[in-house]
Structure 1
Amino acid sequence: MPGDPLSPLSFLATSMHAQKGVYALLLGSGVSTGAGMPTGWGVVTDLIQRVAASRGEGLLEDPAAWWRELEGEEPGYSAVLEKLSQAPGTRAELLARYFEPTAEERADGIKMPTVAHRAIAELVSDGYVQVVLTTNFDRLVEDAIREAGVQPQVIDTIEAIQGMRPLTRGAPTVVKLHGDYQQLNTRNTVEELSTYPEELARLLSRVFDEYGLVVAGWSAEWDHALVDLIKATSARRYPMYWDSRSSKGEAAKGLIEFRDGRSVPAADADALFSDLRGAIRSLEGMAQSPLTTAMTLATAKRYLTDPTKRVALVDLFDDLAGSAQLPPADVADVEGLDEYLLEVRAAATPLARTLYHCVRYADASIDALLAGAVRSAVVPAARGGQPTRDWELYPAVLATYAVGLASLKFGRDDTLLRVLNTRSGRPLSYSAQEEAALGGLMHPWVALGDLLDNRLQLPRFGGTRYKTPVEKLLQVDLQAVLKDDISDSDVVELMPHVEFRIQVANSASLSAGETMRGVHAGAAADFRLWHRSNDDDAHVPRMRLERAIASGDAPAWASLLEGSEVLAEVVEQLRKNRRY
């Protein structure tokens, strides 16, 4: 299964997992040809060839033209069958060789449900898919669903539509748009596919209005009525996803553009649906950890009041940190980056909120555990000392800022420093030999460097070009993550102080001779944080930290900065980068 969380497949899996039953499948001949099933047109042309052979004709170059000349009509599936087999029993025997496997074919898996059909059946049986539309005459998809233990309602005639159960109730529904191979009401020619019966058209209009679509094995080249029905649906409650193999034509591209859809890279239907099912299984596995953030918080608070539960608290932190980590993202564009960052924010929320509450309700005795939780959210360095990349650090950044906001709001200044000074398990760069402190990795130029490009405009910001996109991103995300715990105004007020402490701790930890990294012109560099425009001593975050040290509320900071010029050096760089 592809590991790129920004892939269309991943977004589809996430959406299907979160909203069971809101996507319908639209399956074309490409889903069944992998099983050795012929297309309806393939059956027609082979039957015509057999008629020609019985009349002493050789191999026909154009079976359709030969039939038109012979019969004076288009060679539709129904028309050819009517000429060749008047009795239903004869017709069944004639068609069996095309759609029903022989014993040998069954042994070889030919004309049997494929990997795709079985994956679809699992999606149906697990409740992720309630409606399956298929243009195929065969019965592979409904057979696979039955084998999965579910009895679908199969709609293959107008009469069946009139008596069907509602789509949203009871058993899943398979709608055979072109009919079943045993019937003479099938649609196959261009003329037959140019219009649909009124009852079928109404049913499909409802599906296209109320459901998202996952399209596979259908090119949209010949089925004009189906194309028109999709285009006639103005509502787009859920998006459209279409496998890349069958969506290459102009008709398919037009529908994707019309529905704001996305092409899903997939070698074939087997790969598409097996990968989709695998991705959903992964999400199901993640859902087995604490059921809700509220339950997690209640559990953490219970552990905090019982010193014998420290091991259980560590295990809880480790579980939350593991759930906060998403696979590395190969960010292709700013839209993909924005979508991925929203996924990260959601994944990191339980960890960040839990740490915030632990700072609020516990004392310094658990500071080491808090630091360990943030450290667990940092993805270990890859072989060769590879530095952070692909937004691996963002969950840890959100967790660190949550600790920082709580530390400042509840008078726990030293807690943030203890977290920042904890070894991270990662070097800062390819060439670095020693692991960095967490404070070093949280430095904006390390953790969020890609966003320091002032030209970057995240779609969620509506085109606004912020001078400090990192500051804006962190503010918006922290307000969302901690919306039930701290006011938006407190986040805005405290962020410069957290950022300032991160940069001070980072600079104070440098070895002798090491050059201080550049200071990010973010929240702590806002000109409004200076009481007098040219007085460095009037920098508000510096004054707050110095007051905490002087009052004895921050002994760890006092020890770190004793005899040091780091405060003045950081403020001087902030002054040079001051934002107006």
Structure 2
Amino acid sequence: MEGLDPGEDPAAWYSDRHGVAPGYSALLDALTRTPAERRAILHSLFEPTEEERDQGLKLPTAAHRAVAELVAAGFVKVVITTNFDRLMETALNDAGVVPTVISTADGVRGAAPLVHQRCVVLKVHGDYLDDRIMNTDAELASYDPAMSAYLDRVFDEFGLVVCGWSGEWDPALRAAVERCPSRRYATYWTGMGEPNQTVANLMQLRDARFIRIPGADEFMSDLRDKVISLEELASPGPLSVGAAVASVKRFVAEPRYRIRLDDLLGDEVKRAQNRHADGMRLDSDEVTTSTIRQRFHGYDASMEALAAMLFNAARWADPPHHDIVRRTIASLVPPDRAGGYDRWIEMQRYPAILAFYAACAGAMSSGKFALLKQLCDMKVRANGRSAVALPDLSAAYFNDNTARQLYDQALYTPLSRHLSRTLRPLVASADTVPERAFDRLEVMLALLNLERTEDPAKKAYLLLGMFSWRHEDPAYTEIFDEAGAAGDDWPPLRDGLFRGSAQRFERVRDGFLINLGAASHRR
């Protein structure tokens, strides 16, 4: 507009010339004089061309589609958005939901009561096809009283999941949150980094919980999978997870409660297995990426309480209770091979794998290395054959092709990734760096399995975990340094691991590094 050449960096040129960084509101003000002109500019930004459609551009994202599926399942009733586009409406229509879209004060006045609506999409800044869109600082300073009153009702009558809003550029929306008089329902605020001060203030007002997420697509997709899986497998038990864990801690405190601990864990195993029998039939459901993911998340949901109980039992239990932990895990292993789809038969082992890792993580968290070895040496009967828990219940022994269906791209050690994410809340309760703690566990499992080889330096099968591709400060160097510094006084050796010998551990360590190098070379 000024007839000048901005060079290769228009943003820097604008800042130098005008003394401020280029802002969305200021640029639109400079480029357009009327709402119609503004709409014409924005129209091309939102409407995909045929070429863009072929490339998957300007179409609903995984986050849009996950929210739409939650709406279709009845878990979400109101979607508030500051966006002008129609991606949310498109995703809802694709999911079989026809929403009531409110984008103006007139729309608010003519809307039916919320109680009679299946889904409302509230577009507080308007729709890009309507000249009344609001996107300049002056326009966003306040809303029409009808829109403000509608927001007040939504914020008062519903819980909130906030995703993708910084709270910085929407003073009218921010004011609506601040006006909310009650905290009757929970608020969860998500973000990829630490919340800014504005968000922190709003969270304090709403008594909100902050959740760090990798991105909207991942978070919403994961939320959808878990919520729907919980609904499918809903079967109320006598105790919440917190109450069950509290009972475990009370029962392991004294040997006289040994029978009660056994009954508590046994009852939870039966509840989980009943859910699996009802919702995880071996001869039902077409085997697809979607159904595999649903089954993983279904198992995770049904095992949430038991995994927490086993983690804490292994963490706090004394030797008189150790056999109860072992028996509980062994009871989850399918003893005989049944008929059905091969993929579902294979996935039957997953609850036992999850339980095994939960207990091993608990033992590691409190330095109970003798129990860790007992868990690894535990005999189980799996699919009609005798086996040993390690390696049979290791993530490395699980079919990678099945576990990779959890992700949208081929990844190394996919089940290890999933177990780390699933057990993270438990591990985080005992370790400030849960990812590191999980890596240390996988290193120790690999070392213990290798120790069974008479000469570990020879070619042997190394149980690979996430440590195998973390090249910067890997967890195994930390363990090796600790062992080298402590010598025979290293706690795992004192508990009888590696035959209680520093010399034997050094041979296993050397074999680990040799086989790890060979595995890395094959990749």
Where relative contact order (Cα < 8 A, 6+ residues apart) is larger, the structure is: 1
User: Normalising by the residue count of structure 1, what TM-score does the alignment of the two structures yield?
Assistant: 0.41
- TM-score normalised by structure 2 residue count: 0.46
